[in-house]
Structure 1
Amino acid sequence: MSTSANDAGPFVPEKADLAGLREAAAGCRGCALYEDATQTVFGDGGAGARLVMVGEQPGDQEDRKGEPFVGPAGRLLDRALEEAGIERGDAYLTNAVKHFKFTRREGKRRIHQKPGVTEMAACRPWLVAELRLIGPDVIVALGATAGRALLGSAFRVTKQRGVPLPCPPYDRLGTAAEGDEANGRIVATVHPSSVLRSDDRDAAYAGLLSDLKVAAGLLGRP
């Protein structure tokens, strides 16, 4: 039986470091997704990261291993980061939603399901806590779901990708009015998993790489 109230806020400890947040997130019951997922998949990286990359949610392999971006999409992202001149170790990787949402097919096969607005809102306190601790110069939104989690429902990755956008105040992520601004910029791009699904992977990858180079430029990388 679910004990969630669709709000992770009560599970987020005050004055915790990233290790403390990660430990607390393991017991999060802020939405019903925890019931079927193997475990919480929290962010990975250091508090000194100048770049935070926000994806949608963990996938099947991430859910099993407990780490973000360790499946095929993560390996493609590693390649793109390297080509863009960004060390993965210099970035903090996380997701807008920390539990894997899926449906089962053919018995045991788990098929990704897009998280809903309620689940994104429920999990937002974890993302806010991560960003407050890190205070990145640049946030990369990987895909439409991450973009909407950061910039609100009007965000469209097809129209706003690759363009530096002002980051809303962290406590107004996803709901901030136009013109609100915190330190740092957001650069949106496609999720690397969409590159793997594309009919023209070379073109899709080139677009991802181009957007990541914009983020690299904001960090002062050539």
Structure 2
Amino acid sequence: MVKYEGAQRYLPEGRGLAELREAAGRCRGCDLYADATQTVFGAGPQNARVLMVGEVPGDREDATGKPFVGPAGGLLDKAMKDAGIDRGGVYVTNAVKHFRFTPAERGKRRIHKKPSRGQIVACRPWLVAELEAVTPGVVVCLGATAAQSLLGTDFRVSQQRGELLDLPGGEARVLATAHPSAILRAPAEDREQAYQELVKDLRVVAKATKAA
């Protein structure tokens, strides 16, 4: 694993979301900033009951500077609505704040590339700071990268998917499920079932936040 400087020294003294977002724009904790258009920090209310963590910004997110505004974000919005979760009360972010991609052919969309373990570790202080600023009741890890960033490298989404667990070192509960982009990449004949499984997991989140 390549060792990077990490984000810790770039964290601001003030830990509100506005201060964190501004400081993250200057982060050089790993090498991803060099090719990305901009930092894509989290978005949503500071008093959000639910915080959702994805993997890495995509092409559309890199261009706009906003998380979950591409196809996966659209699918996630639909799933939240079907599960009974108020999208306006959710904070969304990624484990890594800069777009990692494979250069595309001219005129084509850049294809996202999974961040390395070293890049995930380097960026983790931003995610921890977001959790401390928002203090959600439930954290939803969308995919393995997000889950392993918060729950350790031994965690397997396939084994504990949809279960409400205690977030290590915090008072929130945490639930891991599939990333919406995985559903979009699934074979057409499997996509509807994969989507319904995501909605089922998010209904667990909806029930937990209403009961709290």
Regarding TM over 0.5, the answer is yes
- In structure 1, the partner of 2:49 is 50
Q: Deviations over 1:91-136 (max 9, x none)?
A: 0000000000011132454211100110000000000110011111
For the residues of structure 1 that align with 2:105 and 2:125, how far apart are their CA atoms?
35
For the residues of structure 2 that align with 1:124 and 1:23, how far apart are their CA atoms?
17
Letter in 1 for 2:155: F
For the residues of structure 2 that align with 1:105 and 1:83, how far apart are their CA atoms?
34
Give yes or no for the alignment of 1:40 onto 2:39. Answer: yes
- Does structure 2 retain, via aligned residues, the 8 Å contact 1:189–1:211? yes
Q: Once the two structures are aligned, what percentage of the paired residues are identical?
A: 56
Q: Deviations over 1:150-170 (max 9, x none)?
A: 10001111111100011011x
Give yes or no for the alignment of 1:196 onto 2:184. Answer: yes
TM-score (norm 2): 0.94
Q: What is the Cα deviation at residue 217 of structure 1? A: 1.0
Q: For residues 18-97 of structure 1, what are the structure 2 equivalents within 5 Å?
A: 18-97=17-96
- In structure 2, the partner of 1:125 is 125
- Higher relative CO (Cα under 8 Å, sequence separation at least 6) belongs to 2
TM-score (norm 1): 0.90
Q: What is the Cα deviation at residue 5 of structure 1? A: 3.9
Structure 2 segments unaligned to the other structure (5+ residues): none
Structure 1 segments unaligned to the other structure (5+ residues): 170-181
Letter in 1 for 2:48: A
Q: For residues 57-206 of structure 1, what are the structure 2 equivalents within 5 Å?
A: 57-107=56-106, 109=108, 110-169=110-169, 182-199=170-187, 200-206=190-196
Aligned match of 1:211 in 182, 187, 201? 201
- Does structure 2 retain, via aligned residues, the 8 Å contact 1:6–1:119? no
- Does structure 1 retain, via aligned residues, the 8 Å contact 2:42–2:67? yes
Q: Deviations over 1:155-201 (max 9, x none)?
A: 111111100011011xxxxxxxxxxxx21110110000011111111
Give the count of matched residue pairs.
206
Q: Deviations over 1:30-57 (max 9, x none)?
A: 1000000000000001110010000001
